[in-house]
Structure 1
């Protein structure tokens, strides 16, 4: 076939034949196919460097979880053997929730922020319906006057633990959507106060669990505070929370007895000789801390766990920690909680998204505030409220909910703006020597 020539009489430059098949792999400048290049980019994103806040929160959460499994084993092995069970009976159940919760934490860390915004309403609705199961006869379980557990086929769970995270997400989403309207009273209180009051009422009034109810109140106040509402608008919900807490306390003889026992002098005869009275557990908790001293009796050598301290593996596990590992062990745990709080507050300070700031504030008020309350109860600074020590206390649903909350914080940490990389230094040209 003759080849056409140009006006200059020269033959035109011929190009390489192109592959017109749609399924043919594209070739980049380096000669690699587009599929291989995309796979390499995706793999690079998985192993991309993460912010220091991510590492701080993840490492402290993992260390505290391991610390908690060790202390649950130490606190329960003696009573398990006495009951004819394996010494690992209790800790294996706790470890099962840790094995489930840790992968879920890192899975949640991969979720985008828009995912948490979308599930805010469904999560609160599902958690509320889950909480309503405690009122069904045959499912609800009563413990120390609180009907806040369910039991199905030997499996026991505390639904209110999931209300904490879902309430923080819901408050963050609602207050985020109303950022430009938070100067108005009605937009601050509706629907925050009615819905929040309903959720808190299900736990504090319906289930008679004032300790968990107070934590939910603290989450609500924390989210309002970090949303940036005016101080005078923040004071009204604060006064409502204080009034509700006082009302729930004085209307319950059991709660009033626990409050009064915390006000009794430790050296008084009435408290010292209370073998089965309201001071019993508080006194033995202080004795456990006193026995530990500076360095402790050694891991596994607690004396109070042999039937003297009833809530040794949940509400009073900090006392067993102090008895076996001493003041140094207690200080290490408190430092870990402090580092966890520092990582969360860095997220609040660096983010530009109000939703991230509000939800992070609610989560940190929940976890760190609950840790402060639990340790304060053991030290007799607060009355017995029945709230577990996050990460450490026995309780699978408590551990699972806290690890999920850490996953949310890790997801937020991935969105933080990173400092610009430093430009490589350019060597100065060598001076010519004449």
Structure 2
């Protein structure tokens, strides 16, 4: 005579459907992974990127409201357009943060090819020139700057190539090929549009990736010298660039007020008018069509004029915290690809911010590069937000983050085991 053991029902009195018990457990485990605590580097990079983006939206609204009203437009038109790109870029940043490192390795070549092909569109009928630079395209009434996306594609590609050749980087031949020819061709597509400022940022990105790849100093110095020599030649052979450079060296810029010194002088005057506490949000005087490119390359001058030294210090602090979070990723990671890619992205974003602020302070000549997260320009904002998402994805691979995630999953499994009903005694 056979006896049948009674089936144990779970708490709640409902019996699971056949074949679905394992699936429910997997769903609970996956949910535990989603809700696992994120590392402090994730919070630092994400919070500073969001704060800088919001700060930029406010300053774009303030900088463009006066001229928009004078032109018969709504004072918030430019800010609304920027807000649309922010509404697209912020979700993309968090989507990118969920993608594994293997994904970013796989798309390194396609990202570079897409970036170069997109940049070449500026030389088609879609291209648009402004102030001597041909670095924009116009599609369906929307203007985009393809070189902004080329920065991210180049950062991923350089990191992937150096990662694949990490055991051969002691020989200069393996460092230079294919890195220097391919990166040089990509940067040449930007130089062909006469955008020296963006090309300099791309060069800094490549040099930063080389530095964090751990190549020997003697191998690293040669590309740096070649890059500096190329920039010098391009500056000397261009009358427009030489004119701007000589005005930068002019100790008495007032003599050339109505020419090349007009914009730098008004940028400095805007900062000086702000003092320590500023004139108040929305009270800029330079925005009344005195300062050219006030919402783009010179947005930092509006920050200084309206919010004073305190506002400028807040912006610099946010960029410093962003850099701290990124450098923690570089220092803690065990993956060479993560270290090199994070290094290139950090040098790009933070280096470009320092160049932009240096131009406003007249530490550098006018180069025409935007302030990341804050300057008006949808493609610039999208590119730095997605690049920040790549950094956030890298933070999830740090040894401490993986250990914390596993501990959270183990703790959730232990809680489920304790909450499971025990079989009745026989």
- Normalising to structure 1: TM-score of the pair? 0.89
**In structure 2, distance between residues paired with 1:303 and 1:274:** 22
- Equivalent residue for 1:261, pick from 236, 244, 247: 247
Q: Name the counterpart of 2:312.
A: 330
Following the alignment from structure 2 to structure 1, what is the Cα–Cα distance between the partners of residues 209 and 371? 21
Residue 238 of structure 2 corresponds to 252
Q: 2:293 aligns to what SS in structure 1?
A: coil
Show the 5 A alignment for 1:242-391.
Answer: 242-265=228-251, 268=252, 271-391=253-373
| TM-aligned CA deviation for residue 13 of structure 1 | 6.6
Whole-Å separation in 1 of the counterparts to 2:103 and 2:356: 32
RMSD, aligned CA: 1.7
Greater shift in the superposed pair: 50-59 or 144-153: 144-153
SS in 2 for 1:404: helix
Structure number with higher helix proportion: 2
Residue 416 of structure 1 aligns with which residue? 398
Deviations 1:326-381 (A, max 9, x none): 00000000000000000000000000000000000000000000000000000000
For residue 273 of structure 1, report the CA deviation from its aligned partner. 4.7
Counterpart selection for 2:207 from 209, 221, 227: 221
In the alignment, which residue of structure 1 is the partner of 2:169?
Answer: 182
Query: How far apart in 2 are the matches of 1:90 and 1:17?
Result: 67
For 1:166-221, what per-residue CA distance to the aligned partner results, in whole angstroms no more than 9, with x for missing partners?
Answer: 000000000000010111111100000000100111111x1110000000000110
Q: What is the match of residue 24 of structure 1? A: 18
Equivalence for 1:194: 181
CA distance in 2 between partners of 1:371 and 1:14 (Å): 74
User: Offset at 1:290?
Assistant: 0.5
Distance in 2 separating the partners of 1:119 and 1:279: 44
Q: Which moved more, 1:256-265 or 1:111-120?
A: 256-265
Output the CA distance in 1 between the equivalents of 2:154 and 2:140: 28
1:210 counterpart = 2:196:
yes
Residues 202-255 of structure 1, C-alpha deviation per residue, up to 9 Å, x if partnerless?
111x11100000000001100110001011100110111001100110011111
Gaps of 5+ in 1: 4-11, 27-32, 425-434
Deviations 1:271-301 (A, max 9, x none): 2153421000000000000000000000000
**Given the alignment, which residue of 35, 47, 51 partners 2:39?**
51
Q: Secondary structure at the match of 2:315?
A: helix
- Alpha-carbon distance in structure 2 between the residues aligned to 1:69 and 1:307: 19
Determine helix, strand or coil for the equivalent of 1:103: helix
Aligned to 1:125: 113
What per-residue deviation string (whole Å, max 9, x for no partner) do you get for residues 360-419 of structure 1? 000000000000000000000000000000001000000000000000000000111117
Output the CA distance in 2 between the equivalents of 1:192 and 1:36: 48
Count of residue pairs the alignment pairs up: 397
SS in 2 for 1:298: coil
Q: Distance in 2 between matches of 1:333 and 1:25?
A: 56
Greater Rg by CA: 1
Q: Alignment partner of 1:149: what SS?
A: strand
SS of 2:303 mapped into structure 1: helix
Match of 2:131? Answer: 144
CA change 1:274–1:13 in 2 (3 A) is same
**Matches of 1:117 and 1:153 in 2, distance apart?**
33
* 3-state secondary structure, aligned to 1:151: strand
Structure 2: runs of 5+ lacking an equivalent: 9-16, 412-426
Higher relative contact order (CA 8 A, sep 6+): 2
Answer with 40-49 or 159-168: which moved more.
Answer: 40-49
